[in-house]
Amino acid sequence: MARDLEISCVCFEGSALVTGSAEEEVYKLSADALKVLLSHLTQVLRGQIDPLKLQSWRDYQGIPLILVEYAGELMIYASELRIERRRQELKISILFGGARAKGFHGYGYSTSWDGSDETLWAVVEERCRHYFTFEGTAT
């Protein structure tokens, strides 16, 4: 990864349409899982791991979604390479965090996750649809 590449990291923050806060979700993980997942992100932010070269879990409209899992607890983030002010920028957007054993139960229009990859995709896809449509939903 290029050394002069600007890297930013933001978290999905829900709205009236789509519930959830990825930042809150990630920090509710166990201490061991949180340590591993934050270590991974630190390596990304330092340029030691290039998320664009990792095998993506899924993609949303050409944007790779990376799933990092430790002992059944996981985090999903999008990695976008963008051109900003004539410079390349890597934007990391944390979209979800959770434990397979606990699942996720949304409110209103949000979907639920039973711990399987298929129902997780429904939750993440809904967040992507909202996040990548309405700029400014990240914190």
- pLDDT attached to residue 4: 67
CA distance 88 to 14: 27
CB 71 within 8 A of CB 83: no
Domain that holds residue 115: 6-131
Whether 139 is in a domain gets the answer no
Instruction: Report yes or no on 137 lying in a domain.
Output: no
Residue 136's pLDDT is what? 43
Domain count, the chain: 1
Which has the closest alpha carbon to 103: 111, 115, 95? 115
Nearest to 59 by CA among 31, 78, 72, 84: 78
Residue 88 maps to a domain: yes
What average pLDDT values come out for the chain (139 residues) when binned by 10 residues? 74 79 92 95 90 94 95 95 81 94 74 90 91 58
- Position 138 in a domain: no
Q: What are the tens digits of pLDDT across the range 41-70? A: 999 988 899 998 999 999 999 999 999 999
Helix (H) or strand (E) holding 108: none
Domain-located, residue 136: no
Q: How far apart are CA 78 and CA 61, in angstroms?
A: 11
